[in-house]
Amino acid sequence: MKRFPLSLFHKLKEREASNSLRSFKYFHSPQIDFSSNDYLGYAGSLAIFEETHQSLCAKGERKNGATGSRLLTGNSTLYDQTESFLSKFHKAEATLIFNSGYDANVGFFSAVPQRNDVILYDELCHASIRDGIQMSNAKAYKFGHNSYDELEKLILRQQPITDNRQPTTIYIVTESVFSMDGDCPNMEELTNLSEKYGAYLVVDEAHALGVFGDQGEGLIQSLGLEDKVFARIMTFGKGLGCHGAAVLGSQELKSYLINFARSFIYTTGLSPHSVATILQSYKHLTKEKESLQKLKANIIFFNQEKMRLGLKPMFVYSKSAIQCAIIPGNETVKKIATQLQQKGFDVRPILSPTVPEGQERLRFCLHSYNSEKEISEVLQLLSTFVFEIK
């Protein structure tokens, strides 16, 4: 069939006209990586690859796939072993692995908040969180990015009881590192607010795992706040360089998600190789500290170089592996990204509508394998190209 709906055709043309039409791009290995989420270099770790293979062979596990949902034929002792390891590592009562961070957020937020509950979420929360919230029967309100005064006002506006005289349950939702800004919320302030008003705090730690903490355990745990958070969502496709995600929380929460999270129930489980890779990547966090230390040093050096070159005002404040330079206009930011790529640096532009119009940006992702020389060179080039367009 060659026909295509006219309304969809017009939407594609609108994207083309605004220079924001998405398409596939390929990662060019000769370029210096400032774009991938592989913060510790685990995605290309030969040691993790070989250890995963050896561990599967030692268990006699030679399946290429899970064969079904975990509630049917897709479960295994490997899942149990990995979830148990993660619970201990993250000081959580229970862990439930999902197929991806998107699946975890959609499954959690569509299932946990109930009708007459209230969800209060940071306006910059990830699309997967917002999609899950849209599927929920709860009422939802966004608060200004990291605006705790606004959040408290929203909490106070909620009726203390609902029409059926049951207590109103409030969920406060944020990320420990925001994916398009790289900044972090004040977690102490958020935990204080949640305790003050009896709310349940939910934190997506996708971009904090492998970056914050002595073992890369994430921001919440590095601050010693894990017992004050109702649920943490950990995603393995960033700092751990593999695939999948997990929700950390109580045993009751795990049981509830197994029974009611549709993105968990109605999907084939991860392959044994994927689950084993998660476990081996976590084991590397516990025994191999050099990559984490180098990443942290690179984050400090990047911020120092921003200051030295006078670039600090154009960057969003961040102490994470994500550093974003605001360069308004899709055309302008794409031009500078292309210039950097032509010089051998893989830096990607983030365009509207992914970010609000006027907030287009270059997103620099830092890694343990970037050198100080590479960081200095890419920022010097940025300084030159930005000056040329002024």
Domains (ranges, CATH) in the chain? 30-41+289-389 (3.90.1150.10), 63-287 (3.40.640.10)
pLDDT in tens, 266-302: 999 999 999 999 999 999 999 989 999 999 999 999 9
Q: How many CB atoms lie within 10 A of CB 374?
A: 17
Give pLDDT, residue 158: 87
Q: What is the mean pLDDT of the chain?
A: 94
CA nearest neighbour of 95 among 206, 232, 226: 232
Whole-structure pTM value: 0.93
Give pLDDT, residue 23: 85
pLDDT (average), residues 352-371: 95
Structure tokens, 120: 């209060």
Give pLDDT, residue 314: 96
Cα(15)–Cα(326) distance, rounded to whole angstroms? 21
The structure tokens 């270059």 sit at: 362
CA nearest neighbour of 346 among 380, 378, 299: 378
pLDDT in tens, 234-250: 999 999 999 999 999 99
Cα(376)–Cα(302) distance, rounded to whole angstroms? 8
Given a cut of 70, whether residue 232 has pLDDT beyond it is yes
Lowest mean pLDDT among 1-15, 86-100, 323-337: 1-15
pLDDT band at 170 (very low <50, low <70, confident <90, very high): very high
Contact 34, 364 (CB under 8 A): yes
Bridge partners of 95, per DSSP, are 248
CA nearest neighbour of 386 among 342, 341, 344, 328: 328
The two most distant CA atoms of the chain are separated, in Å, by: 64
Q: Give the 3-state secondary structure of residue 167.
A: strand
Given a cut of 60, whether residue 97 has pLDDT beyond it is yes
Cα(313)–Cα(326) distance, rounded to whole angstroms? 9
Q: What are the helix and strand counts (H, E) for the chain?
A: 14, 12
pLDDT (average), residues 9-20: 89
Structure tokens, 319: 């102490």
CA nearest neighbour of 226 among 46, 105, 53, 94: 94
The stretches of 210-355 forming alpha helices (DSSP H) are 219-222, 251-260, 262-265, 272-287, 290-308, 330-342
Give pLDDT, residue 90: 98
Structure tokens, 6: 């006219």
Q: What percentage of residues in the chain have a pLDDT greater than 70? A: 96
Given a cut of 60, whether residue 163 has pLDDT beyond it is no
pLDDT (average), residues 305-324: 96
Cα(84)–Cα(322) distance, rounded to whole angstroms? 30
Given a cut of 70, whether residue 39 has pLDDT beyond it is yes
pLDDT (average), residues 69-92: 97
Lateral strand order in the sheet of 348-350: 322-326, 361-365, 348-350
Give pLDDT, residue 196: 95
